[in-house]
């Protein structure tokens, strides 16, 4: 027998797959019961209804990805598994690698987070927005550390990139993968994550250091 | 009186706004009639039904953005309005600027292209996929030109980035804007496009030239 948390996680995973395929609004509690192998009555033991299920799913995804990112960044700060430098670049690299790995292996959740971002209402919507903001803030703080570590622009010239725009652009690189990336295809997750790391770090560093 | 093409474009624009807000599957022909100010019977003069409307909308968006991109790239190749170099970097920059401007000012269409990419079926789905592939191919060819123009890696060392992954990552930077960018906010479209140009060009060039 699985315990409460495991069964709830299994229900959320089944729901992510159905919401990703059919969309939240087209999905009924009956569809979700069928997909999860639970009875309708059984499902109400875990969730208060369809919107509560979507809320729990989104909250769970943001909580897990944030916890994982914090651990990965902290490990990189201690020099990481490979014994890297532990500087700001290493920490941002750890964040990117973790995010890409998480969503390349949880594509249904990524699609639901993105397509159903506005499907919640009221307090549930607010709470998920706050979780998302905190998660984006984690990345923004890492990029700010990169800025702080960089040399001051020579002669004060040049225009710095807007950091918030750069951060959202980085999330674009990472999140868009759910529309095109196939983990079973020729490009492995490590190569994908490495490409994004190098594009962003080179691109951003070129601005921060050179201008 | 508007002519056939203008009324059809107005219908497609109204449909983009409704599909973006409610989703394709939750929208009825009656909703579309209300939003466009046409009668139900009047709509059938322009489209064969709801799926045909979504198809025409997606086809029209890809055709317009492709035509505009080809013109922008060709103009950059002739030295552009500002009299630039007309090299591969100028042409890719023109493509990025055009794409970002188009979708920052057509956010409903961007959302529909992205969220309803799989809502068409059969021959309509195939045709739109081909249009999208041709459009992505245009960008891929520009990045390939950058590669060709770059010096060969010194000593043959280093690993090149996978160009296709880089191109999809670039589309991620550009397309994700529909989830966060507000043209009425503090960041203008030109600054947004410039940030994306610089991030990608610096990031990719650092790899192509340095490695």
pLDDT in tens, chain A (211 residues): 679 999 999 999 999 999 999 999 999 999 999 999 999 999 999 999 999 999 999 999 999 999 999 999 999 988 655 555 679 999 999 999 999 999 999 999 999 999 999 999 999 999 999 999 999 999 999 999 988 887 655 444 456 688 999 999 999 999 999 999 999 999 999 999 999 999 999 888 776 644 3
User: Rounded to whole angstroms, how far apart are CA atoms A140 and A15?
Assistant: 31
Q: Express as a percent the part of chain B with pLDDT over 70.
A: 89
User: Rounded to whole angstroms, how far apart are CA atoms A42 and A36?
Assistant: 10
B70-103 pLDDT, tens digit per residue, is: 999 999 988 655 555 679 999 999 999 999 999 9
Give me the pLDDT at residue A162, please: 87
- Closest chain B C-alpha to A77 CA, distance in angstroms: 24
Question: CB-based burial of residue B143 (10 Å sphere; 0-12 exposed, 13-18 middle, 19+ buried)?
Answer: buried
Confidence check: pLDDT of B109 > 70? yes
User: Rounded to whole angstroms, how far apart are CA atoms A87 and A48?
Assistant: 45
A140 in contact with chain B, both atoms CB, cutoff 8 A: no
User: Rounded to whole angstroms, how far apart are CA atoms A35 and A43?
Assistant: 11
Residue of A nearest to B193 (CA): A165
B176 in contact with chain A, both atoms CB, cutoff 8 A: yes
Structure tokens at A149: 């570590």
Tell me if B138 sits within 8 A of B72, measured CB to CB.
no
User: Rounded to whole angstroms, how far apart are CA atoms B156 and B158?
Assistant: 7
Give me the pLDDT at residue A157, please: 46
SS3 (DSSP) at B7: helix
B134 in contact with chain A, both atoms CB, cutoff 8 A: no
Pick the range with the lowest mean pLDDT from A130-144, B147-161, B192-206: B147-161
Nearest CA-CA partner of B200 in B107, B152, B192: B192
User: Rounded to whole angstroms, how far apart are CA atoms B132 and B128?
Assistant: 6
Q: What is the CATH number of domain A57-210?
A: 1.10.357.10
Contacts of B165 in chain A (CB under 8 A): 187, 191-192, 195
Spatial CB neighbours of A205, under 8 Å, sequence gap ≥ 6: A89, A146, A150
Q: At what angle do helices A50-77 and A4-22 cross, to 10 degrees?
A: 110
Q: Express as a percent the part of chain B with pLDDT over 90.
A: 79
B161 in contact with chain A, both atoms CB, cutoff 8 A: yes
Tell me if B65 sits within 8 A of B51, measured CB to CB.
no
Structure tokens at A33: 């019961």
User: Rounded to whole angstroms, how far apart are CA atoms B19 and B13?
Assistant: 10
Structure tokens at B64: 């317009």
Question: CB-based burial of residue A82 (10 Å sphere; 0-12 exposed, 13-18 middle, 19+ buried)?
Answer: exposed
Chain A interface test: which of B92, B114, B203 (most A C-beta within 10 Å): B203
The structure tokens 């590669």 sit at B147
The structure tokens 């979504």 sit at B54
Q: What is the dihedral of CA A193, B131, A117, A6, to 10 degrees?
A: -60
Task: State residue A110 phi and psi, 5-degree precision.
Answer: -60, -45
Give the Cβ contact number of residue A56 at 10 Å: 19
Contacts of B161 in chain A (CB under 8 A): 195, 198-199
User: Rounded to whole angstroms, how far apart are CA atoms A60 and A155?
Assistant: 48
What value does the CA radius of gyration of chain A take, rounded to a whole number of Å? 20
pTM (2 decimals)?
Answer: 0.91
Structure tokens at B180: 């966060």
What value does the CA radius of gyration of chain B take, rounded to a whole number of Å? 20
Quote the Cα angle for B208-B174-A160, to 5°: 70
How far is the first Cα of chain A from the last one, in angstroms, to the nearest whole number?
60
User: Rounded to whole angstroms, how far apart are CA atoms A204 and A113?
Assistant: 27
User: Rounded to whole angstroms, how far apart are CA atoms B182 and B188?
Assistant: 9
Contacts of B201 in chain A (CB under 8 A): 203
DSSP alpha helix (H) spans, chain B: 4-22, 29-36, 40-43, 50-77, 88-104, 107-115, 122-149, 163-175, 177-180, 189-205
Give me the pLDDT at residue A211, please: 38
Across the A/B interface, how many CB contacts are shorter than 8 Å? 110
CB-nearest partner of B198 from A161, A191, A192: A161
CB-nearest partner of A175 from B162, B172, B174: B172
Q: Which CATH superfamily is domain B51-210 in?
A: Tetracycline Repressor, domain 2 (1.10.357.10)
Q: At what angle do helices B50-77 and B122-149 cross, to 10 degrees?
A: 20
- Closest chain A C-alpha to B194 CA, distance in angstroms: 9
């Amino acid at each position: 027998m699985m315990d409460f948390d495991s069964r709830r996680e299994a229900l959320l995973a089944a729901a992510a797959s159905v919401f990703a395929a059919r969309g939240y609004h087209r999905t009924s509690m009956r569809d979700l019961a069928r997909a999860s192998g639970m009875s309708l009555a059984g499902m109400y033991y875990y969730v208060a209804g369809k919107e509560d299920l979507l809320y729990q799913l989104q909250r769970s995804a943001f909580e897990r990805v944030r916890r994982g990112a914090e651990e990965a960044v902290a490990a990189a700060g201690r020099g990481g598994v490979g014994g890297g430098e532990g500087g700001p670049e290493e920490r941002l690299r750890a964040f990117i690698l973790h995010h890409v790995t998480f969503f390349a292996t949880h594509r249904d959740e990524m699609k639901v987070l993105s397509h159903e971002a506005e499907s919640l209402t009221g307090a549930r919507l607010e709470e998920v927005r706050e979780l998302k903001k905190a998660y984006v803030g984690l990345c923004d703080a890492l990029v700010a550390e990169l800025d702080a570590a960089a040399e001051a622009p020579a002669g004060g010239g040049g225009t710095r990139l807007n950091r918030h725009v750069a951060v959202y652009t980085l999330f674009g690189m990472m999140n868009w993968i759910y529309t095109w990336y196939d983990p079973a295809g020729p490009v492995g997750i490590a190569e994908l994550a490495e490409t994004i790391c190098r594009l962003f770090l080179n691109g951003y560093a070129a601005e921060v250091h050179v201008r």
